[in-house]
Amino acid sequence: MKAIILAGGSGTRLWPLSREKSPKQLQSVLGGKSLLQNTHERILQLFAKEDIFVATGISEVRQVKSQLPKLAPSNLFIEPKRKGTAAAIGAVVAQIASKNPKERFVIINSDAHIVDVPEYLSCIQMADELCEMKQGSIVIIGIRPTYPETGYGYIHMGSAAAWVGPEKEQRLAHSIERFIEKPDAKTATDYVLSGDYLWNPTLLVSEAGAFLERYREHAPELYRELKRLQTLKGKRPSKALLEDVFEKMYEDSVDKAILEKGGKMFVVPGNFGWSDIGSWRAVYDVHKQNGSGEDKNILRGNVICLEGDGNLLCTHEKKILAAVGVQNLIVIDTEDALLVCPRDQAQNVKKIVAELKIRGLHKYL
């Protein structure tokens, strides 16, 4: 099995730290190493280094190479243009299928935080086992929800499908009824209480050739271009060919283009303390879970906070940030930008990025 780490994307909800030329996965969002480096280190515990591939955008290549110096050039897939996860995943899988259409792979996002790494790796192995049992299927690892999050997608579990895993860790895998994208608060609460729904981290396992067949069935325009990569018989595509393929593909997510269209799909429930580091609220929550905050505040840099609680306050090393009597705020101070918002509005930071584009303030993107 091959591991494909997705390291593209802009991470607009983590502005102003995450920028177009230096997105969140390349940043030390949680302190220490970057999200990409942490992801790569986790996967190395299960995969040989030659079986780990990284897909990233052309503007991030230099930083990826710098952060992962031992990554072989042949294991780095460069997207010449951002066209969403359907195109990015499809392009890598097509090149794997050109060598061996029976090769199984796992898709891993580089921007997640994992608490229980052994359980996480075990779930990948269980998904691989189920994929081998259920030929031609897509197997997703779902996360047992711990609260009614409205910023995540959900998986509605169907009928029991099979027992997977070693004897002492066995669990029941299910078919997938449907996918639901970011429900409202009441609906999310109902999902959690029912016990029939899982968070969807788009952590999936499939067989390369079978996965491309889903493109042929559900996204024929994408499949037509990916087929050009699959016929290379293991050779790396030229820069000109790859640019032409991406130019002709439309932009879409793999969830909408492939997964939500249905088909032979199963889910393995996991419980490994997963967090999508997609917003500043998520950063705050992870730090609180780790017990890394003083009192009820998370402070990074030269920060003084008096008579306040529930805050995430971060400043550039050359400044001092002082706050008195504030509660539940996000304050992110960088060299050229300052973000201030209530913690429960952290998902809306992406609106600021959209407004900057409208106003032509591209130097802040």
Span 191-209, pLDDT tens digits:
999 999 999 999 999 999 9
- Side-chain half-sphere CA neighbours of 131 within 13 A: 24
Please, what's the b/e burial string for 76-96 (b: 16 or more CB within 10 A of its CB; e: otherwise)? bbbbbebbbbbbbbbbbbbbb
Do residues 146 and 251 share a domain? Answer: yes
Q: Which of 248, 278, 308 is the last residue of a domain?
A: 278
Alpha carbons 59 and 47: distance in angstroms, whole number: 27
Do residues 331 and 234 share a domain? Answer: no
On whether residue 289 sits in a domain, the answer given is no
Backbone angles phi, psi at 99, to 5 degrees: -90, -45
Do residues 245 and 106 share a domain? Answer: yes
Residue found by looking up tokens 């997938």 in the block? 176
Q: Is the pLDDT of residue 10 over 80?
A: no
Domain that holds residue 226: 2-278
Q: Is the pLDDT of residue 59 over 90?
A: no
Q: Which of 252, 278, 304 is the last residue of a domain?
A: 278
Local structure of 333: helix, strand or coil: strand
**Lowest-pLDDT range, 3-7, 208-212, 287-291, 345-349?**
287-291
Structure tokens at 81: 């243009």
Specify the pLDDT at position 294: 54
Calculate the alpha carbon distances from 188 to 122, 144, 155, 192 in Å. 27, 13, 11, 6
> Which tops the pLDDT comparison, 22 or 85?
85
Do residues 353 and 300 share a domain? Answer: yes
292 pLDDT band, cuts 50/70/90, is: low
On whether residue 64 sits in a domain, the answer given is yes
CATH classification at residue 124: 3.90.550.10
358 pLDDT band, cuts 50/70/90, is: very high
Do residues 206 and 320 share a domain? Answer: no
Structure tokens at 171: 């669990």
On whether residue 123 sits in a domain, the answer given is yes
Do residues 208 and 299 share a domain? Answer: no
On whether residue 285 sits in a domain, the answer given is no
Do residues 204 and 344 share a domain? Answer: no
Do residues 262 and 159 share a domain? Answer: yes
Prediction pTM value: 0.90
Do residues 122 and 248 share a domain? Answer: yes
Specify the pLDDT at position 169: 83
Alpha carbons 2 and 105: distance in angstroms, whole number: 5
**Lowest-pLDDT range, 183-192, 309-318, 330-339?**
309-318
Measured N-to-C along each axis, helices 220-230 and 239-248 cross at an angle, to the nearest 10 degrees, of: 170
On whether residue 288 sits in a domain, the answer given is no
How many domains are there within the chain? 2
Share of the chain above pLDDT 90, in %: 77
Do residues 204 and 347 share a domain? Answer: no
Specify the pLDDT at position 234: 79
On whether residue 131 sits in a domain, the answer given is yes
291 pLDDT band, cuts 50/70/90, is: low
Q: Which of 247, 278, 309 is the last residue of a domain?
A: 278
Do residues 268 and 325 share a domain? Answer: no
Do residues 197 and 346 share a domain? Answer: no
On whether residue 105 sits in a domain, the answer given is yes
On whether residue 284 sits in a domain, the answer given is no
